[in-house]
């Protein structure tokens, strides 16, 4: 499967822990930024969130670390939508060293579309669900 580029950045020295590797909190942060870029591409935009009174919540996140990243490394995150349902989206991120292409970490996330006032899950609007379904289909077809 071909994945979407959802994040590109650099590991800075302040992202590294006392043993010189990018710390877990920065992996989580870069995956979070990639998540918002994915959501933007399916129409869950900042404007949509503000105007609709809806939000997104990660209800499950599983990260697997495969290779270390060091200060100065360029990073790319590629994302695939795994599933879109009425109120739920599942996707996987793959973080790569931009120079070597090696996978540094993967992250599987289950997100829920929520009504911010009621604080409970609510259906994705048809447009956003269709956009995610179309993206799921186009990524699968490109493989």
Given a contact cutoff of 8 angstroms between Cβ atoms, the answer to whether 135 and 4 are in contact is: yes
Q: For the chain, what is the radius of gyration of the CA atoms? A: 16
| Whole-prediction pTM | 0.92
Given a contact cutoff of 8 angstroms between Cβ atoms, the answer to whether 75 and 12 are in contact is: no
| Domains located in the chain, CATH noted | 4-142 (3.10.129.10)
pLDDT in tens, the chain (143 residues): 468 999 999 999 999 999 999 999 999 999 999 999 999 999 999 999 999 999 999 999 999 999 999 999 999 999 999 999 999 999 999 999 999 999 999 999 999 999 999 999 999 999 999 999 998 855 544 44
């Amino acid at each position: 499967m071909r994945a979407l580029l959802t994040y590109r950045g650099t590991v800075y020295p302040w992202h590294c822990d006392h043993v010189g590797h990018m710390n877990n909190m920065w992996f989580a942060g870069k995956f979070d930024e990639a998540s918002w870029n994915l959501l933007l591409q399916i129409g869950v935009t900042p404007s949509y969130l503000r105007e609709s009174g809806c939000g997104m919540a990660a209800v499950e996140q599983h990260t697997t670390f495969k290779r270390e990243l060091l200060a100065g490394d360029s990073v790319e995150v590629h994302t695939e939508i795994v599933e879109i349902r009425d109120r739920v989206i599942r996707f996987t991120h793959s973080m790569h060293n931009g120079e070597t292409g090696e996978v540094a970490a993967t992250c599987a996330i289950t997100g829920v579309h929520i009504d911010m006032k009621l604080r409970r899950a609510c259906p994705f609007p048809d447009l956003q669900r269709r956009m995610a379904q179309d993206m799921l289909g186009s990524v699968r077809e490109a493989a």
